[in-house]
Structure 1
Amino acid sequence: MTNTLRILYHYLRTRGRAQRWSNRAALERWQERQVLRHVKWVRRHAAFYRQWWEGRADADWRQFPMIDKGVMMEQFDELNTVGLSRTQAQDIALEAERTRDFEPQLHGVTIGLSSGTSGNRGLFLVSPQEQDAWTGTVLAKLLPGGLRESHRIAFFLRANSNLYESVRKGKLEFRYFDLMVPMEQHLMVLEQECPDIWVAPASLLRLLADAAHAGKLTVKPWRIISVAEVLDPLDRQRIEDAFQQRVHQVYQCTEGFLGATCEHGTLHLNEDIVHIDREYIDEDKRRFVPIITDFSRRAQPIIRYRLNDILTLAEQPCACGSSFTAVERIEGRCDDILYIRQLDEDEQDWQEEHEQQELDRPLVPLFPDLVTRAVISASPEIEHYQVIQHDSDRLEILYRLSGEESRAAVEAQIRERLKQLCAGLHGALPAIRFGEYAFEPGPVKLRRVERRWKPDGDRGLV
């Protein structure tokens, strides 16, 4: 059961924190105190972490061994502090998804499943106290006008949750839109109820934008918030053109509420509730993998957790003046970094007659953002696209055009831009197969750039 006073407390505290720290150093000193207090509590209450940190002092928390989703799920029973087993939690979450009834809890704890885009679905646990804290924090960060204003919020999600339902407070009305329901029904309800805040995956927002362009949707929201999927530059532009406003973002996953955009549209990490270290994978281009320590969650402690996401640090501080780290872009997942064969500097093309020799060569990383920009720059008529890598020498590119431009001409342009991109990395352009784009939003997240193979361990990675 939610506690309105507790929600209000966290709402006011979050809004106050936004103006509390005058500089980055003050924020980091405060974070250090919060993490040390949290680590001390977790060591006493979570059997897994006691063993995981054995022989290491609390003050050395930055040197604690990292965990990831695999470790968290394997050690679920000993990692959580509310006495739930993985089997119990998973059974409840799966039954909720089967029946589409997301209200059941266990001992007051909200249980949910991640979408499992990496093939490994994660469980999350949220206590009543944490649910209230989340609600107050989300409202403070996403509703700059405050709680005195009335809003009707439309959530388009794969699965509902008591966590999301808790947003329904005071003058706020909440409506869950199930992504398993046909799009025509969503359009009808939007026209009837006219919610003024839309929260949805980027692929669904894109369909709403397409419907608006086609005259099938006439209502326009006051605020649009993209969640759950990477917001592709192509989709962002089409959505903003359709509704004549900025698309805001929430960066949230099983591991926590990690970021939100400010009024300038810049994504800031929520460093008032999480500490985030950066593991750089391309420091020159400011790309890093976040390692998070959430000092606000106790039911399922997340400490030194290595995410699978690729973030790009903003080159300049945000004009809003926030001390929280500004992120230029969430690029995708590490699993979707493509890999191509390295060529000698004097080689220009893939040499089929030396195929075995080529297969023994190191692999060069090709980041999703670079692939995205190469594809969408090939033609202004590219309306949708998806790039799938099946092996180091096989790419599949699915796309849809909005106009009458020749597909042969567009494909030649895509091929040329990817060839130039690969050449700049001294890599071989894979063979490319083109096809029709046919993705529809639903239970599976859209990944514009996706790698469906895993490099062998004995193949070198550059």
Structure 2
Amino acid sequence: MSIATAVEDAKAFMFDPDIETMPRAQLAALQLDRLKKTLAHAYAKVPAFRRKFDAAGVAPDDLRTLQDLARFPFTVKTDLRDNYPFGLFAVPREKVLRLHASSGTTGKPTVVGYTRGDLDTWSELMARSLASAGAEPGDIVHNGYGYGLFTGGLGAHYGAERLGCTVVPVSGGGTERQVTLMQDFAADILCATPSYALNIAEVAAGMGVDIRTLPLRFGVFGAEPWSEEMRRELEARLGIKAVDIYGLSEILGPGVACECHVAQDGLHGWEDHFLFEVVDPETLQPLPMGATGELVITTLTKEALPMIRYRTRDITRLTDEPCVCGRTHTRIMRVTGRTDDMLIIRGVNVYPSQVEAVLIGLPDLAPHYQLVLTRKDALDSITVEVELAADASCDEASRARKAGEVRHHIKSMIGVTCDIVIKSSGEVPRSQGKAIRVKDLRKIAS
């Protein structure tokens, strides 16, 4: 294959009008055909799915419309753990070319597998996502996502190569060296968690490097919830457009959906490969378009590990309003939190991302924080530890005033009363990957 042909093939991933602007009726017909095949495949090949379907009194042939999917049972993360390691695979293990797994910090890890076809699909959808985010063939992609069993690094890597980009597979850590490589290689695209991207910007400033003067144009950030306030902080510190990408290992990895760099307003979900629902997290009943609830995803083309109505625990809403970029796929609006991340503090529901949105909007604070949970006399309490900006006044009177200001804003915006600890620059632990926003000391205390 000539270089010219390779570049033309790569450009095909930048915007495919046959797929990304497909009329809704045609897209729904494609989804229905693929959904029928997926249900039949899962029922025939995975005993655990067959038992769940039988217990719910449904069979693949009962699906005649997309709306009929609501009759089928949900899949949850414990289903993967209960069938550890390969019990949910729908192909012989010898057909699985790659395995990824979660850390398993709260039990057995969740294991996911990919056939050759799955890997091709993943690469294609990551190429589509990166193109949506602004990447072009020939760009240098600085990949700061973690490699290994975590899906982020390899997902971004193979997608960028499929698009025709040059990949720097640096992973996380060694942040000073990362800054140097971004300078020396003239990176165009940064892929990382938003918290680690902030760490890179901070380290660069400490090295005397103004990262905003580099060729960097776009940042593709995901793997943890982040707010619009965080977006503005990232764009100001890095001199880029910050674009949100979404995915989870159980479904595919990164590349399930991605914002476009044109609007930066909701993630285009790749509906030719996934079916998206939003349900009430309490009643589990489907919610109408535009209502906020828990995102549920069904895979339409996965071979090794089909997922039927997988409860992601992510809180969001869907919109089918037209996007200025021209893509017609349903958009997943920014994930505001997870049902399993929600904190209930003295009767008030609190998501860490809500606290982040308040903190980043206040002057003289750095965008580094942790929420510390404690329990005393059967009552839960929350302490917000947040850093002063490097150039802010740090005498005790100034700290006390700032703590009072933060406490007031959190109370007025979220409705929860917090203790506030104002820390000096560098005292809040930095992220080398996914940020640890919550430190739960309640079990230790009990």
Bin the TM-score by the shorter chain: 0.7 to 0.9
Deviation of 1:434 (Å): 5.4
Conserved 8 A contact 2:13-2:127: no
Tell me, in whole angstroms, the C-alpha distance in 2 between the residues paired with 1:122 and 1:222.
35
SS in 2 for 1:81: coil
Structure 1 position 248 matched with structure 2 position 243: yes
Matches within 5 A, 1:98-137: 109-115=97-103, 121-137=109-125
Tell me, in whole angstroms, the C-alpha distance in 2 between the residues paired with 1:183 and 1:147.
23
Conserved 8 A contact 1:389-1:452: yes
| Alignment correspondent of 2:126 | 138
Structure 1 stretch displaced more, 227-236 or 42-51? 227-236
| Alignment correspondent of 1:230 | 225
Tell me, in whole angstroms, the C-alpha distance in 2 between the residues paired with 1:416 and 1:148.
45
Conserved 8 A contact 1:113-1:124: yes
Conserved 8 A contact 1:374-1:417: yes
| Alignment correspondent of 1:409 | 401
Tell me, in whole angstroms, the C-alpha distance in 2 between the residues paired with 1:230 and 1:71.
24
Tell me, in whole angstroms, the C-alpha distance in 2 between the residues paired with 1:422 and 1:41.
46
Deviation of 1:304 (Å): 1.1
Structure 1 position 265 matched with structure 2 position 264: yes
| Alignment correspondent of 2:336 | 331
Conserved 8 A contact 1:213-1:242: no
| Alignment correspondent of 1:63 | 71
Please tell me the residue identity of whatever aligns with 1:381. Answer: L
Conserved 8 A contact 1:230-1:331: yes
| Alignment correspondent of 1:176 | 169
SS in 2 for 1:330: coil
Deviation of 1:80 (Å): 0.3
Tell me, in whole angstroms, the C-alpha distance in 2 between the residues paired with 1:273 and 1:222.
29
Deviation of 1:190 (Å): 1.9
Can you list the C-alpha shifts for 1:91-123, whole angstroms capped at 9, x where unaligned? Answer: xxxxxxxxxxxxxxx765111123557666422
CA RMSD of aligned residues (A): 3.5
Matches within 5 A, 1:278-357: 278-281=278-281, 286-313=291-318, 317-341=322-346
* Change in 2 beyond 3 A, CA 1:201/1:452: farther
* Change in 2 beyond 3 A, CA 1:244/1:162: closer
Conserved 8 A contact 2:229-2:361: no
Can you list the C-alpha shifts for 1:275-320, whole angstroms capped at 9, x where unaligned? Answer: 1110135989943211110112110111111112222446965333
| Alignment correspondent of 1:438 | 428
Paired positions, count: 401
Can you list the C-alpha shifts for 1:384-432, whole angstroms capped at 9, x where unaligned? Answer: 2222333453112111111324211111011112333465xxxx63555
| Alignment correspondent of 2:386 | 399
Conserved 8 A contact 2:102-2:111: yes
SS in 2 for 1:150: coil
Conserved 8 A contact 2:30-2:272: no
Tell me, in whole angstroms, the C-alpha distance in 2 between the residues paired with 1:170 and 1:63.
39
Structure 1 position 155 matched with structure 2 position 156: no
Conserved 8 A contact 1:337-1:367: yes
Structure 2: gaps (5+ residues): none
| Alignment correspondent of 2:83 | 75
Deviation of 1:45 (Å): 1.9
Tell me, in whole angstroms, the C-alpha distance in 1 between the residues paired with 2:12 and 2:121.
8
Conserved 8 A contact 2:370-2:386: yes
Can you list the C-alpha shifts for 1:121-140, whole angstroms capped at 9, x where unaligned? Answer: 42221111111121122212
Structure 1: gaps (5+ residues): 85-105, 342-362, 455-462
Conserved 8 A contact 1:273-1:296: yes
* Change in 2 beyond 3 A, CA 1:118/1:308: farther
Conserved 8 A contact 2:246-2:258: yes
| Alignment correspondent of 2:373 | 389
Can you list the C-alpha shifts for 1:414-455, whole angstroms capped at 9, x where unaligned? Answer: 1112333465xxxx6355555564222225x2144676669x
Tell me, in whole angstroms, the C-alpha distance in 1 between the residues paired with 2:178 and 2:244.
21
TM-score (norm: length of structure 1): 0.75
Can you list the C-alpha shifts for 1:142-170, whole angstroms capped at 9, x where unaligned? Answer: 22599983122221122246555434358
Deviation of 1:375 (Å): 3.0
Please tell me the residue identity of whatever aligns with 1:259. Answer: A
Matches within 5 A, 1:11-90: 15-22=16-23, 24-54=24-54, 55-58=57-60, 59=63, 60-76=68-84, 77-84=86-93
Conserved 8 A contact 1:132-1:166: no
Deviation of 1:377 (Å): 3.7
Conserved 8 A contact 1:269-1:325: yes
TM-score (norm: length of structure 2): 0.78
Identity rate of aligned residues, in percent?
A: 21
Tell me, in whole angstroms, the C-alpha distance in 1 between the residues paired with 2:321 and 2:21.
21
Matches within 5 A, 1:359-378: 363-378=347-362
Please tell me the residue identity of whatever aligns with 1:70. Answer: T
Tell me, in whole angstroms, the C-alpha distance in 1 between the residues paired with 2:133 and 2:312.
32
Conserved 8 A contact 1:389-1:451: yes
Structure 1 stretch displaced more, 167-176 or 151-160? 167-176
* Change in 2 beyond 3 A, CA 1:447/1:329: farther
Deviation of 1:372 (Å): 2.7
Can you list the C-alpha shifts for 1:205-239, whole angstroms capped at 9, x where unaligned? Answer: 11222345453245332321112122333432222
SS in 2 for 1:133: helix
* Change in 2 beyond 3 A, CA 1:383/1:375: closer
Deviation of 1:19 (Å): 4.2
Deviation of 1:48 (Å): 1.8
Structure 1 stretch displaced more, 288-297 or 370-379? 370-379
* Change in 2 beyond 3 A, CA 1:13/1:159: closer
SS in 2 for 1:292: strand
Please tell me the residue identity of whatever aligns with 2:87. Answer: E
